[in-house]
Chains A and B, each alone.
Chain A
Amino acid sequence: MFAYIVRRLLATIPVMGVVALFVFALLHLTPGDPAVLIAGELATDADIAAIRAKLGLDQPFHIQLATWLWSLARGDLGISIFTNLPVTRLIEQRLEPTLMLTLTTLIVSIVIALPLGIISAWKAGTWIDTAVMSFAVFGFSVPVFVLGFVLILVFSLQLDWFPVQGYTSISEGFLPFLANITLPSVALGMIYAALIARITRASMLDVLAQDYIRTADAKGLATFDVLIRHGLKNAAVPIVTVIGIGIALLISGVVVTETVFAIPGLGRLTVDAIVKRDYPIVQGMVLLFSAVYVFINLLVDLSYTLLDPRIRY
């Protein structure tokens, strides 16, 4: 087990290396220049050139790359070109909202999706199944930003249940936190719920077809009990897998959700930085995202051993 974890962690190094190189090359091939944006509308060519020189942006590509890799090796993500703040500080400022949004979204989507998936597996082939699954696909097919605005319109402006935008740290009270995070989690959770509901249904169907369930059924155990006891436990493995795959999808959704609800999170930071060509932030963020992705997938793989005793590493 321990050896396995170490091996997996070592295997992430080349992956991260690929990501780092790829992102760096991508960004520096991008037309557009932070110096131009810094100088502003009324600046002249000379101003822009001077700023570019000061920022080291006139250096050849390989020198810039070497500089960046060297500081990366020392655990330094660099300084944001625009704000002059260390990238690590910018990330720290914005970590909590994104982390909490991801967690609450997961919770919301599992709470919605599991019952739906189980019900439609149980009633497979009936109109209930069709209705539930159509709903799930519908949730997937509405773009997050449209859903977000509809939620704001209905639940903030019309019904006045939730604030429109912003984020309240959980340290300022649980209820205000909840008030702010609910709508974004629901908006984002819908896509994810669709995915989990489908996979839950599929794996429940698989499990229900197994012999031992039929046996349990024959023994006269109540149907619902069978579903929960045997079904869900065995369906856990594919569900956890989807959570692993879906985490990338979730991170993508976070970018949009944070924009709609004006949540000061990491997704917004990254998109902003891409638009502004704030290279150190983009590089740092993509590395962080892919590290999280790798880490979550490692956790997912490890959780298999807990969920299914037959799997051993």
Chain B
Amino acid sequence: MTATALEPTVAAKPAEGRVRRVLRRHPKIVIGGTILLLIALVAIFAPYLATVDPQKVSPARRMRWPQELYWFGTDMMGRDVWSRTLYGTRVSLVVGIGAAALATVGGLALGLITGFIRWADAILMRIMDGLMSIPAVLLAIALMAITQASIQNVIIAIAIAELPRVTRLVRGVVLSLREQPFVEAATAAGTGLAMTMIRHILPNTVAPLLVQGTYVCASAMITEAILSFIGAGTPPIIPSWGNIMSEARSIFQVGWYIVVFPSVFLSITVLSVNLLGDGMRDALDPRLARRM
């Protein structure tokens, strides 16, 4: 969304006062970051938050309403929805961050290559165009079908689907910077290609990539849920928000509470990731930030 060319940012050391000022000026980062931190804590400390084994099935106590022992009720296999939702946090965060990291790193590498090497550009961008033209969900379903269901494969499938967009973004930045005087000067001064990239190009991709990364992260969490809905997601034995929702969605009228709790968690998480992304965009993109 912020595929605009950026002016080279000055790599100044962030003084403490400056950080504080930024935070005050960007409440979105603070709010989004805080919620996200809380959710990350839930993920890490899930075993200590009054949970039981989230995989433990016991058909005798199936479909219980939320009550004292089962805060979020139990599902159709008698599993505790509270424990499953809390453990599910781990999956969603891992999928979101994993997919974002993979897509960003992959996109960065491909973007740099396509931006600098002309013959590779032609080939790689055709492949990227092709990938981009396959709807992400279909691509992920197909990828999940050839491999076994696992969190790792969910991450890879989502990252591959997101890859073209990130690549385009980086390529755009590289192309616009390549013609800039300071890059040309560096090249003229005999700086090697690799050095030019590291010193001059890379720093300038950080800001747009960070912002794009948060969007990839948010949409990866949603895609995980949708993949589970279609039956091509995280293996159902592992509780993820998507799994819990999609298993219970077919009995929505009977056990709506099973769907609602993970759904609320998912919405809040996605919301806070997006807030963080918006905040970072505002902070990192001076052109927009000036007007806020």
Contact = CB atoms under 8 A, between A and B. Distances in A.
Whether the complex brings A and B within 8 Å at their CB atoms is answered yes
A224 interface: no
Interface in A14-34: 14-19, 22-23, 26-27, 29-32
- Top 10 A-B residue pairs of the complex, sorted by shortest distance between their CB atoms: A18-B130, A141-B270, A290-B133, A252-B137, A293-B133, A251-B135, A141-B267, A30-B146, A252-B135, A19-B130
Given A202-B288, A205-B288, A256-B226, A15 B259 contact: no
Contacts of A69: none
Interface residues of B, number: 44
A274 B141 contact: yes
Contacts of A99: none
A141 B222 contact: yes
A275 B145 CA distance: 8
Interface string A230-256: 000000000000000000110111011
Interface of A: 14-19, 22-23, 26-27, 29-32, 124-125, 133-134, 137-138, 140-146, 149, 153, 198-199, 202, 205, 209, 248-249, 251-253, 255-256, 259, 270-271, 274-275, 282, 286, 289-291, 293-294
Interface string B141-153: 1110110000000
Interface stretch (B37-45, B54-62, B64-72, B246-254): B246-254
B142 to A, nearest CB: 5
Given A26-B143, A138-B271, A146-B249, A294 B226 contact: no
Nearest to A14: B126
Contacts of A140: 218, 222, 270, 274
A145 B135 contact: no
B253 A138 contact: no
Nearest to A292: B133
Contacts of A253: 137
Contacts of A271: 138, 141, 230
Nearest to B2: A202
A217 to B, nearest CB: 15
B136 A252 contact: yes
Contacts of B267: 138, 141-142
